[in-house]
Amino acid sequence: MTERVREILSWYAGNSPGVLSNLARMLNHGTLAGTGKMVILPVDQGFEHGPARSFAPNPPGYDPHYHFELGLEAGCNAYAAPLGFLEAGAADFAGEIPLILKLNNSDSLLSEGDPCPAVTGSVGDALRLGCSAVGFTIYPGSGMRNDMLEEIRSISEEAKAVGIPTVIWSYPRGGAITKDGETAIDVVAYAAQIACQLGAHIVKVKPPTSFLEQDAAKKVYEAERIPIEKLSDRVKHVVQSSFNGRRIVIFSGGAKGSDDKIFDEVRGIRDGGGFGSIIGRNSFQRPREEALKFLSTVMGIYRGDIP
Amino acid sequence: MTERVREILSWYAGNSPGVLSNLARMLNHGTLAGTGKMVILPVDQGFEHGPARSFAPNPPGYDPHYHFELGLEAGCNAYAAPLGFLEAGAADFAGEIPLILKLNNSDSLLSEGDPCPAVTGSVGDALRLGCSAVGFTIYPGSGMRNDMLEEIRSISEEAKAVGIPTVIWSYPRGGAITKDGETAIDVVAYAAQIACQLGAHIVKVKPPTSFLEQDAAKKVYEAERIPIEKLSDRVKHVVQSSFNGRRIVIFSGGAKGSDDKIFDEVRGIRDGGGFGSIIGRNSFQRPREEALKFLSTVMGIYRGDIP
Amino acid sequence: MTERVREILSWYAGNSPGVLSNLARMLNHGTLAGTGKMVILPVDQGFEHGPARSFAPNPPGYDPHYHFELGLEAGCNAYAAPLGFLEAGAADFAGEIPLILKLNNSDSLLSEGDPCPAVTGSVGDALRLGCSAVGFTIYPGSGMRNDMLEEIRSISEEAKAVGIPTVIWSYPRGGAITKDGETAIDVVAYAAQIACQLGAHIVKVKPPTSFLEQDAAKKVYEAERIPIEKLSDRVKHVVQSSFNGRRIVIFSGGAKGSDDKIFDEVRGIRDGGGFGSIIGRNSFQRPREEALKFLSTVMGIYRGDIP
Amino acid sequence: MTERVREILSWYAGNSPGVLSNLARMLNHGTLAGTGKMVILPVDQGFEHGPARSFAPNPPGYDPHYHFELGLEAGCNAYAAPLGFLEAGAADFAGEIPLILKLNNSDSLLSEGDPCPAVTGSVGDALRLGCSAVGFTIYPGSGMRNDMLEEIRSISEEAKAVGIPTVIWSYPRGGAITKDGETAIDVVAYAAQIACQLGAHIVKVKPPTSFLEQDAAKKVYEAERIPIEKLSDRVKHVVQSSFNGRRIVIFSGGAKGSDDKIFDEVRGIRDGGGFGSIIGRNSFQRPREEALKFLSTVMGIYRGDIP
Amino acid sequence: MTERVREILSWYAGNSPGVLSNLARMLNHGTLAGTGKMVILPVDQGFEHGPARSFAPNPPGYDPHYHFELGLEAGCNAYAAPLGFLEAGAADFAGEIPLILKLNNSDSLLSEGDPCPAVTGSVGDALRLGCSAVGFTIYPGSGMRNDMLEEIRSISEEAKAVGIPTVIWSYPRGGAITKDGETAIDVVAYAAQIACQLGAHIVKVKPPTSFLEQDAAKKVYEAERIPIEKLSDRVKHVVQSSFNGRRIVIFSGGAKGSDDKIFDEVRGIRDGGGFGSIIGRNSFQRPREEALKFLSTVMGIYRGDIP
């Protein structure tokens, strides 16, 4: 147990030994073990975008075992997926890599102005499958947000009672928020704050842009001269907005893009004090060897081996 | 226990012995026992279309005992029906044929833009009636889809806890999907994926056409040159979309059609690696002897006795 | 225990001895005891139409005891009423006549396009009051139908677990169904089928007319030349649609009409193989002596003493 | 225990000794003890109309203790109020006067076309506070009526199981009912019937006018020549509509009016066989001594000491 | 235990020793211990307005520990915050300052005409974190008010059963209430009354203006000449409306304003018999030393050390 991991766990004082153990399990697994940084492999795109859009670019990805193996070989801290994908491999790979059961999911056969994912798994499922955490998406800004917030409230309380930490994907969207606003720095920082206030152990947000969405917030950012020009500054602000760094906040990898652009983004996250990345499509939509190399670079940046 | 059945069961590692036993019971019953192929007799049309439209063409079908006998004599792997039909024969035919209790149903006295079946049975009912599985319909694309997904989530968790596998009928429909889109290959593959991600043990979809419904999917099918011209190719793609073949996926028989057309369809399913058919109206809407002969041909094609 | 009652009970094989005993209790009570025919006295009009419209024509009917006495003296198989009416006499008449607790009710102070009764009693109430069955109304065709179907699903499961049979009043109505369609033969047969599929032990429908409501059904009735001209033929078809006669199906008596018309209707029900009548307003809205005479004639027709 | 109280309790045969004891407690308390008549003090106006509109005319009424004392000194059979008001005195006045916990309440900060009160207390609260009954308001005619009916169904079943009787305030209102219709004789009689059918032990309605609201009812009132000209006749009809007098039905006192008018109304209730009054604003919105004198007159009329 | 605290506790007779102990804990903590006055530090603005708008003016406030320390050093009676903020310090500051867990929260990413906060914590969470009370916001006047009232009903009953008092933030808003009406004296007094009737132990309202919102109330205020010109008079009226002073009612501090204005407001609250203040933004949005001085002055006014 490194000093850094002990320090991180100290922020979660008051949580049960079960919750702390599972947090430690994720922090101490894989290439980044003990560094306090995390790279998580999430594969819910089959549900969210459909199988061909997700896996045709790299067909071995149709097979649920592929992702367990990829996460394991790449040295990811954890592998996150919906119920079906985990059920299809949790026994075969039992104990090999920490698992995060994603408890709600949306599909893209229908899109609604006020989106709300369906709850598709339970804390009981997470226990049954030997998971180290549960994941849950909220859409602040959606007219359905109260449903999501109340679902995660209940799930989170149940999870804490059985030693399972909660990871909240906090993605503002819905009628009240513009497309640019979804990644605006004020909105992303707010999304992180909401997830923390809901009792999340780990928060996932999108890398923020320098756009400011809400007038009332804009005034404050300008008046207080909060630096938001560089990504590292914005990440720093999001970390600050996550209880002054007392909660682990990680950033999504987004759609497939050029590697250099992603590596730069990872540098920005690292330099701003972010805790890591959760990278799906950029990992599993390319051949395995390329993916391993790609993830190795990402982790190298987080370790500091790569500047 | 054949090697093939052992192989299929191995995909369900992590499931309880009860669930595995019930899967084995269905795979090892009837004409196709041990082959890994399945032909299931479903009779929910009385509920879905009304009694006369369902049974007047072959009046013995009004009697619930008829269908137990038909499934049994024809050597089907299982017989699936709503609560009432199973209650009216489960004691009389106890232990003679695996039963699937269909837990939700729609009627056609009212049709709605965002359809949602009513839940009409429970896991407790399935246990009481000695069933080997529960069945549930979801309509991805309907504005009510979250209700269905959350119902099956709960049912499925309860069923797994008592050793009952789940069969999901995944039929996209609703305002967001065109009539042609309901059987489009991208949509059917997506429907299969959703059912698998929900933790279904067996997935039922409609035989897909080569139509492509969603623009975002179309781009990928074309860019990745996914073969979808022949039914066997499309079935192969659906099987791939069902966790790369790690989940049993079967295909509905559709409305009454010419026998040759259906046999060709069955050949396509077989050649594409599909696991079988679930054939209602084409079975029970013709005289018993004809139905037996018809089903015998279907099974012969799946066994490979008939090319 | 007559052969006929034994035969009827045999259709319910698989039900608990408690459910079978309560069915037998109703079949073996009163003037028609042992014949397999039933005449039930239902008095929910106070709730459905208000007290004056229901009881002013025969003021003793304001008193809940009156109906217990009427059902008892007339030799009805059972007396059905909402919670309040049964509570007001169940102790005074304990064990004297089988009771059916009507578990949902509508009033006519407000009428809605998609009607749904309020649930006003429970299985626990039925047990507390010593009832032999619970009754429940569904409105297939109403946009609220799923609520009703899911309520009765739950109630029915609970009732079966404690030995209480279920009687379903299946009355199609709502925006999707025309006024004539509510008693159309295709719709009534469908309504009976739905009730049976929901697991009802006894089904109550309205006497059907020869009107055909739905185009898809009309085609089949005409193609298969299903006889629907005479009431007895239509009743036969409804009985057939009730699991080929394996479920008890009875017919409502409707608004107050001329006695001869009603007796003819009863003859049609009898000749078509219907199991009996449930006659409210025509019983309790006339003086007691007249009512007894009227019901005696109805039962005579069912017994065959009166041609 | 007087003969009259024994007679009234006999109508509730089948209820538990606990329920009967609490009914007896109310019937045997205060000035009207043993007469079978009741005058209840209700104070929910603070919630329904706000504090100043309720208590400014007689400021001691701001204090919850005032109403316990008023009910006690005036010799009322019971004191009815929402949770907060009872909690603020139930310990101080324990055992001194029977209490009725009003379990749902509306405020007048918002008025809706289809009104529905909020549930603000529970049967558990009633037990904790030593209450003799629970009270509940329904608005037949409101589009939300099913919610209210199903709430009281559940509350009433729970209350009966722990020996607590139910008082239903049955006030038709909502889009389907005109302002005059709210107190129309046909509507009030119907409201009383509904409350009785729901299993209420005591029913509270408004004093009815001779207006007839519904056409279908009007025909019957005219055809059957039901007398509705005098208040005593209308009360008689409401009593008849309350299970022919087998349920206690009491009448609200309405807004503050001239004393003579109220005393005349009480005479009408008495002469029609009504069981009493529930008088709030006319009691607590005047100085204590005046209120005591006023209530003394009301009770005198019911006792017959005052003609 | 001072006489004043004993007196206050006597108003809560009938509550469990657990509830009384927790009330006493808050009344006996900090600078105002034993005086019967309270100053509470609430920090839910991170959730309600976002992190930058809340904490950028005084960046140490991003850290949840800051607020525990501020409340402690300033000698506040209690510190109130949402789940996340309390979880992030409850173990570190265990037993040092009474905590109030705020159980529902709104964010400002979406504003709705009929607002309703999301429930974000539970009574179980409050117990787990060692809290002395739970807090809950209601919006009387909102079309969603029944949801809130029924949530707090259930929470409050559960809390009382485990010895936890309830604090209700009663803030009228929604389509039915004008902006000025939200702080109108009639509306604020009504809001206090509703909270008391719901069984709150402590009520929080906004300082009222002399505006009168509702016509029906205005007539009474004028007719009864209720003094509402001075803040102290209005506070007196709100205290009177809170069960004649038998419930603790405290006032919010509002947005950041000039200190003198706030001190004057505190004087008005004190002189009107109000029980104290709950001051968030004016406390934590300025440097720690300034905040301590500011709060010291506020408490001095309440103690009477400062006129």
- The residue among C186, C194, C198 whose CA lies nearest residue C140 is C194
Neighbours of C (≥3 Cβ pairs closer than 8 A)?
Answer: B, D
Which position among A37, A160, A204, A236 bears the catalytic label? A204
Contact D107 E190 (CB under 8 A): yes
How many residues are recorded in chain B?
A: 307
Mean pLDDT for all residues in chain B: 97
Q: What is the pLDDT of residues E116-134, one digit of tens each?
A: 999 999 999 999 999 999 9
How many residues are recorded in chain D?
A: 307
Neighbours of B (≥3 Cβ pairs closer than 8 A)?
Answer: A, C
User: By three-state DSSP, how is residue A172 classified?
Assistant: coil
Token digits of residue E240: 């009177």
- Quick one: pLDDT at residue C215? 97
Q: Contacts of residue D84 in chain E, CB cutoff 8 Å?
A: 196-200, 243, 247
- Picking from A84-93, A251-260, B76-85, which range would have the lowest pLDDT averaged per residue? A251-260
Proportion of chain E above pLDDT 70, given as a percent: 99
A34, HSE (Cβ side, Cα atoms, 13 Å): 4
Give the span between the Cα atoms of B168 and D208, in whole angstroms.
Answer: 57
User: By three-state DSSP, how is residue E196 classified?
Assistant: helix
Q: What is the pLDDT of residues D40-49, one digit of tens each?
A: 999 999 999 9
Mean pLDDT for all residues in chain C: 97
Q: What is the pLDDT of residues B114-160, one digit of tens each?
A: 999 999 999 999 999 999 999 999 999 999 999 999 999 999 999 99
| Burial class for B86, CB neighbours closer than 10 Å (0-12, 13-18, 19+) | buried
Q: Contacts of residue C193 in chain B, CB cutoff 8 Å?
A: 46-47, 50-51
Compute how many other C-beta atoms are within 10 angstroms of the C-beta atom of residue C127: 15
Contact C189 B51 (CB under 8 A): yes
User: What is the secondary structure of E267-296 as a DSSP string?
Assistant: HHHHHTT--EEE-SHHHHTS-HHHHHHHHH
- Quick one: pLDDT at residue B257? 77
Are β-strands D38-42 and C276-278 bridged in parallel, bridged antiparallel, or unpaired?
A: unpaired
- Quick one: pLDDT at residue E176? 83
Proportion of chain B above pLDDT 70, given as a percent: 99
Sign of CA dihedral A174, A179, A181, A187: positive
Check whether A256 has a pLDDT greater than 80: no
Q: Contacts of residue A220 in chain E, CB cutoff 8 Å?
A: 52-53, 56-57
Neighbours of A (≥3 Cβ pairs closer than 8 A)?
Answer: B, E
pLDDT band at E254 (very low <50, low <70, confident <90, very high): low
E42 or A253, which is more confident? E42
Which position among D204, D206, D230, D236 bears the catalytic label? D204
Contact D120 E197 (CB under 8 A): yes
- The residue among D255, D266, D262 whose CA lies nearest residue D303 is D266
Q: What is the pLDDT of residues E38-53, one digit of tens each?
A: 999 999 999 999 999 9
Q: Mean pLDDT across the stretch A260-268?
A: 96
Q: What is the pLDDT of residues E147-165, one digit of tens each?
A: 999 999 999 999 999 999 9
Q: Mean pLDDT across the stretch D266-282?
A: 97
User: Can you give the pTM of this predicted structure?
Assistant: 0.97
Q: Mean pLDDT across the stretch C96-108?
A: 98
> Catalytic annotation on A204?
yes
Q: Contacts of residue E200 in chain D, CB cutoff 8 Å?
A: 84
Residues of A within an 8 Å Cβ radius of E = 11, 13-15, 140-143, 145-146, 149-150, 153, 157, 172, 174-177, 186-187, 189-190, 192-194, 196-200, 214, 216-217, 220-221, 224, 226, 237, 240-241, 243-244, 246-247
Q: Mean pLDDT across the stretch E47-70?
A: 98
Q: Mean pLDDT across the stretch E178-201?
A: 98
pLDDT band at E175 (very low <50, low <70, confident <90, very high): confident
Chains E, C in contact, 3 or more Cβ pairs below 8 Å: no
Cα nearest neighbour of D192 on chain C: C51
Q: Mean pLDDT across the stretch A245-255?
A: 91
Give the span between the Cα atoms of D225 and B178, in whole angstroms.
Answer: 61
Token digits of residue E288: 């720690």
- Residues near B240 by beta carbon (within 8 Å), at least 6 away in sequence: A51, A59, A62
Mean pLDDT for all residues in chain A: 97
Give the span between the Cα atoms of A99 and B231, in whole angstroms.
Answer: 37
Give the span between the Cα atoms of C179 and C164, in whole angstroms.
Answer: 34
Check whether A266 has a pLDDT greater than 80: yes
pLDDT band at D257 (very low <50, low <70, confident <90, very high): confident
Mean pLDDT for all residues in chain E: 97
Q: What is the pLDDT of residues A21-50, one digit of tens each?
A: 999 999 999 999 999 999 999 999 999 999
Total CB pairs under 8 A between chain C and D: 125
Q: What is the pLDDT of residues E77-101, one digit of tens each?
A: 999 999 999 999 999 999 999 999 9
Give the span between the Cα atoms of A128 and A19, in whole angstroms.
Answer: 16
Cα nearest neighbour of B243 on chain A: A63
Give the span between the Cα atoms of E251 and E232, in whole angstroms.
Answer: 12
- Quick one: pLDDT at residue E257? 77
**β strands within chain A, DSSP E:** 38-42, 78-81, 99-102, 104-105, 118-119, 133-138, 166-170, 202-205, 248-252, 276-278
Smallest CA–CA distance, residue B189 to chain A, in Å, is 7
- Picking from A144-158, B30-44, B255-269, D238-252, which range would have the lowest pLDDT averaged per residue? B255-269
Proportion of chain C above pLDDT 90, given as a percent: 96
- The residue among B85, B44, B93, B78 whose CA lies nearest residue B64 is B85
- Quick one: pLDDT at residue E241? 98
D150, D221, D246 member nearest C118 (Cβ): D150
- Quick one: pLDDT at residue C253? 84
Q: Mean pLDDT across the stretch D19-29?
A: 98
B123 or E255, which is more confident? B123
- Quick one: pLDDT at residue D176? 83
- Quick one: pLDDT at residue D175? 82
Q: Mean pLDDT across the stretch A292-302?
A: 98
Q: Which residue intervals of chain E are DSSP H helices?
A: 3-10, 17-27, 45-49, 51-55, 64-74, 83-87, 123-128, 145-161, 185-197, 215-223, 231-241, 259-271, 281-284, 288-303
- Quick one: pLDDT at residue E290? 97
Are β-strands E118-119 and E104-105 bridged in parallel, bridged antiparallel, or unpaired?
A: antiparallel
Smallest CA–CA distance, residue A210 to chain B, in Å, is 29
Check whether D100 has a pLDDT greater than 80: yes
Check whether C257 has a pLDDT greater than 90: no
User: What is the secondary structure of B175-214 as a DSSP string?
Assistant: TTS-TGGGGBHHHHHHHHHHHHHTT-SEEEEPPPBS----
pLDDT band at C254 (very low <50, low <70, confident <90, very high): low
Q: What does the DSSP 8-state code read for residue E184?
A: B
Check whether D20 has a pLDDT greater than 80: yes
Contact B143 A112 (CB under 8 A): yes
Contact A146 E53 (CB under 8 A): no
pLDDT band at B220 (very low <50, low <70, confident <90, very high): very high
E94, E109, E116 member nearest A176 (Cβ): E109
Angle at E115 between CA E111 and CA E118, to 5 degrees: 95
Check whether E32 has a pLDDT greater than 70: yes
- The residue among A260, A267, A262, A278 whose CA lies nearest residue A74 is A278
